[in-house]
Structure formats: structure tokens, C-alpha cells
Structure 1
Amino acid sequence: MIIPLDKNLIFRLATKDDLYEIVQMLLDDTLGALREKHDATLSDSYVNAFEKIQADPNQELTIVELNGEKVATFQLSFIQYLTYQGGLRAQIEAVRTKSTYRGQGIGTKVFEYAINRAKEKGCHLIQLTTDKRRPDAIRFYESLGFVATHEGMKRKLD
């Protein structure tokens, strides 16, 4: 079933009441299911992280609702740095659309909103990282104009 998206999507900052459903969206993903914890109640680690995100003016954890149902989420981080003449950039993370709503254009609307929000804050670019094991996501990001310009590296800390 395709749901018209014209004026039905609502973007708002997440509240603590949204946290359980956000974690469920993070779990509703092949890779997310490997790293998130699924319980009937939220662990303190999620609550503590949410409180830190909420208290930080450079973080925006957003919920997207369609006709009152929470259907997507993402986090924008605004990073101040010295390069680019003291520029500001936005990092978009943890983008998830409920699996029952994927393929209906919600992800595109999420990115349109996030890009506009980054522009409003004065960012000169928006960036993201994605796991190389997500070829569909990579194609989607490329269709939105994102370009793989750098090779990212990570090191796990024990």
C-alpha cells in the first residue's frame, strides 16, 4: 500500500516517550539487530545517551510521524571546526524508516528535511557514513547527491 506523503509527515524533536520506538527502529535492520539490545524495557545506557543528546544544543534527534504513527528517525549532529574558515558541518546518523514503510519516499523526505535543517543552521556541508555492507543504502544516498569523497577508517576501542 502506498501512502501519499504530501503534507502528512511531521518532523519533531524526539522526547523520552519516543525512545523505545526509536530503539525498535534501530533494531529493525539486519546490522542494527546485531548491535542493539532488545528488551521489553530500555536499558539505562539508552536513557543516559538520550539525555545527553537532548541536553546538547549541537544534537537533534528527530522523529518523523505519518498520521500519528512514528515511521522514521534520524540524528543530526552539528560539528564546529576550524577548517573551511571556521565552518560548520552536519553529520546525519542513525537514519531509519520502519520496514513496513520503506520504499514509499519517506527516506527522501527525511533527507530533504535534514538538508534544509543543516542549511538553516549555516552548515556548508552535510555528511554521513554508511556500512559498506549496505549497497542499497549507498545507492540511495548517491541518488540524493551524496558522493564518496573520503575513505573512512575506524578503530574499535576495548
Structure 2
Amino acid sequence: MEILAELDGATIIRATREHIPTIERLLADDPTSPQHVATTTLISDEVLGPTPGDSDLEAAFERIDSDPNQSLLVILDDSDRIIGTLQLSFVTTMARGGGIRAFCSGARIRAGADSIAIGKEVFAWMVGYAKSRGARVLMVTTDKDRAHIHGFFTTMGFRATHDALTLPLCPSK
């Protein structure tokens, strides 16, 4: 287990293959997910049920894990239970003088009394981590339908400075 940070309420580690089913369930526990399970409590794997049989997360994990510019992370609580996940991608761009941009996507923290506090700790750590990797900017991608999360990001200092447009290139699963 590669520990990246030990925070007051959580530990951040690099994800392993064994974490894939829990990461998938965390991502499904969101109103924008087609597999959404509405809840305001901690989600157990039993509640979320089996993973879809047609997902190709093993191959995706291999691509992410083998790329030094990708970090798939999980957040553990004090009992070493996975309570969150996020993916950081580092991209060197020609824009802004060839700077590195860090992109955070798929950030989820399971609902609970301390989820906002833990989320703030994780994002504060992420800012420092992105700086240590040479990033000039940290961008968070989130679905526009996740309005409940946008307020959280603005309290962390993020501003809506860019608009992104998407074009689906394959049918949704």
C-alpha cells in the first residue's frame, strides 16, 4: 500500500486492482450516474449490488496505473475503510507557456457526518500535491448536474473560469 498522505480524518493511498469494485460503486453513488442509488448514508457494497458485467475497468485501471501522469487514488477512514476516490491527471500543454495542468476527475466522498471536512482536507492536500508535481493550475471536472458539489468547490477557492463542451463518441452503457 503506497500511502501518499495521512490527514486528520483520512489517509490517501494509490489505488490497486483490488479497489476497482469499490471505486466503481463510489462513482455509481452519484445523481449523474445511470447506476445511481439515492442515499444519504454510507454505502455498503451490498446496497449498491454487483458491478455491471460489461464494464472494462480492469483495462482502464491498467492504462491509468502504467501512466506516470495519472494518479488513481482512494481515501481511507481511520478504520482503513474506503470512503472516497479521485483521479488526478497531469497534462503538459502548449498553452500558458508550456505549463502543466492538473485535472481532478471522478472525485467522490461517501456521505457521512464528516464527509465535507474530509473532502476539504483531501482537496487542500491535492493542491499541494499538484504544485509539487509542477502544475501551474488545478482544474476540477464535474458534471453541470452536480450543482450540489459546485458550492463545495467554490469554498475551496475554485472558480468557474472555463466552459467545457463534450461530444459522446460511443453510446452510453
Task: Give the structure-1-normalised TM-score.
Answer: 0.86
**In 2, Cα distance between equivalents of 1:76 and 1:61:** 6
1:133 to 1:8, Cα distance in 2 relative to 1, 3 A: closer
Contact 2:103/2:140, CA 8 A, preserved across alignment: yes
1:13 to 1:126, Cα distance in 2 relative to 1, 3 A: same
**In 1, Cα distance between equivalents of 2:30 and 2:114:** 11
Residue aligning to 1:136: 148
Residue aligning to 2:28: 27
Measured against aligned partners, the alpha-carbon deviations of 1:105-155 in whole angstroms (never above 9, x if no partner) come to 111112112111101101000002222212211111111111111221111
**In 2, Cα distance between equivalents of 1:64 and 1:97:** 8
Residue aligning to 1:45: 56
Residue aligning to 1:66: 77
Q: Which amino acid aligns with 1:87?
A: G
Residue aligning to 1:121: 133
**Are residue 148 (structure 1) and residue 149 (structure 2) matched?**
no
**In 2, Cα distance between equivalents of 1:34 and 1:7:** 32
SS at match of 1:115: helix
Measured against aligned partners, the alpha-carbon deviations of 1:28-78 in whole angstroms (never above 9, x if no partner) come to 11212448x963576560111011100000000011111211111100000
Identity of aligned residues (%): 29
SS at match of 1:32: coil
Q: CA RMSD in A?
A: 2.3
Listed as ranges, the gaps of 5+ residues in structure 2 are: 1-5, 37-47
Residue aligning to 1:80: 92
**Are residue 97 (structure 1) and residue 98 (structure 2) matched?**
no
Contact 2:29/2:35, CA 8 A, preserved across alignment: no
Contact 1:77/1:90, CA 8 A, preserved across alignment: yes
Listed as ranges, the gaps of 5+ residues in structure 1 are: none
**In 1, Cα distance between equivalents of 2:55 and 2:7:** 38
SS at match of 1:50: helix
1:41 to 1:16, Cα distance in 2 relative to 1, 3 A: farther
**In 1, Cα distance between equivalents of 2:146 and 2:114:** 15
Contact 1:90/1:126, CA 8 A, preserved across alignment: yes
Contact 1:54/1:60, CA 8 A, preserved across alignment: yes
Task: Give the structure-2-normalised TM-score.
Answer: 0.79
Q: Which amino acid aligns with 2:16?
A: T
**In 1, Cα distance between equivalents of 2:28 and 2:71:** 20
Contact 1:78/1:91, CA 8 A, preserved across alignment: yes
Match for residue 66 of structure 2 among 43, 48, 55:
55
